[in-house]
């Protein structure tokens, strides 16, 4: 069973700061998902990646398959980026092959 | 963007009641999932379906049941709710096995008194 660890658990930063959230996993995977969960529970998929790097607006996700590690970066952070960011690693074997981290609670102060 | 809907958004009920949490999607996805999430904890898969008349239990034991009679509809039922069932329930769809992203509903926060 894959073990997915995120760091930090909680992060408070000032508006405009560059943010990095880390995700490591224990078993080789075929895909890694980054999700955003806002207060109230709704979850939005930000990225799905299996290698390299993806960028969408101010968000950048990278993955290093050899090191079993992924990072989510937010440039020019804004209070509306405040949310819980969750990584989930898919190691195959069907629907139960997707393992979620506990999330990083990010607060961006104005 | 997401066309997946869950109702109710919040539900407070007494012990022993039967409840059904509704989930519908309009994207034509074959694969749908139910996850359970406790505060500050990771999502755990409790049920999934690969298509009509297909249902399977996930890695987290659950006393709930599901059905999939139509592609767009994947309801979850608790025959007799207990306080231990208090949690957030999230429905999702999408083919994670083929490297597609997941679409989530807004969740149902269930409180059993």
Residue B1 has pLDDT above 60, yes or no: no
Positions of chain A with pLDDT under 70 = none
What does each C-alpha distance from A11 to A22, A81, B108 come to in angstroms? 12, 12, 27
Please give the residue of chain B at the shortest CA–CA distance from A38: B106
Query: Which residues, including other chains, have CB under 8 Å from residue A101's CB and lie 6 or more apart?
Result: A4, A5, A6, A23, A86, A87, A88, B42
Round to whole Å and give the CA distance between A96 and A102: 16
What does each C-alpha distance from A95 to A14, A41, A60, A99 come to in angstroms? 38, 21, 26, 10
- pLDDT confidence of residue A39: 83
Categorize the per-residue pLDDT at B2 as very low, low, confident or very high, splitting at 50, 70 and 90: low
Arithmetic mean of pLDDT, B88-110? 92
Q: What percent of chain B has pLDDT over 70?
A: 98
Question: Does B46 contact A at CB distance below 8 Å?
Answer: no
Please give the residue of chain A at the shortest CA–CA distance from B40: A102
Contacts of A30 in chain B (CB under 8 A): 99
Cβ neighbour number for residue B112 with a 10 Å cutoff: 20
Cβ neighbour number for residue A60 with a 10 Å cutoff: 16
What integer best gives the mean pLDDT of chain B?
Answer: 93
Residue A49, strand partner residues: A32
Query: Which residues, including other chains, have CB under 8 Å from residue B71's CB and lie 6 or more apart?
Result: B28, B29, B30, B51, B52
Which residue in the set A41, A45, A100 is minimally distant from B109, CB to CB?
A: A41
Contacts of A91 in chain B (CB under 8 A): none
Please give the residue of chain A at the shortest CA–CA distance from B2: A44
Q: What three-state secondary structure class fits A81?
A: helix
């Amino acid at each position: 069973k894959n073990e997915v660890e995120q760091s930090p658990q909680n992060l408070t930063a000032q508006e405009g700061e560059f943010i990095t959230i880390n995700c490591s996993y224990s078993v080789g995977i075929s895909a890694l998902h980054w999700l955003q969960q806002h207060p109230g529970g709704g979850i939005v998929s930000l990225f799905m990646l299996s290698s390299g790097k993806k960028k969408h607006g101010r968000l950048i996700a990278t993955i290093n398959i050899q090191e079993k590690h992924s990072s989510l970066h937010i440039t020019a952070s804004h209070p509306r980026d405040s949310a819980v960011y969750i990584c989930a690693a898919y190691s195959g074997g069907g629907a139960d092959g997707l393992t979620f981290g506990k999330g990083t609670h990010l607060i961006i102060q104005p | 963007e997401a066309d997946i809907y869950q109702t109710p958004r919040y539900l407070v009920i007494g012990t022993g009641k039967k409840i059904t949490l509704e989930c519908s999607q309009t994207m034509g996805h074959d694969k749908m999932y139910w996850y359970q999430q406790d505060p500050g904890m990771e999502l755990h898969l409790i049920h999934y379906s690969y298509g009509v008349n297909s249902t399977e239990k996930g890695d987290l034991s659950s006393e709930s049941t599901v059905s999939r009679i139509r592609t767009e509809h994947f309801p979850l039922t608790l025959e007799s709710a207990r306080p231990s069932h208090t949690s957030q329930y999230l429905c999702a769809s999408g083919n994670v096995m083929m490297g597609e992203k997941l679409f989530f509903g807004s969740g149902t926060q269930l409180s059993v008194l």
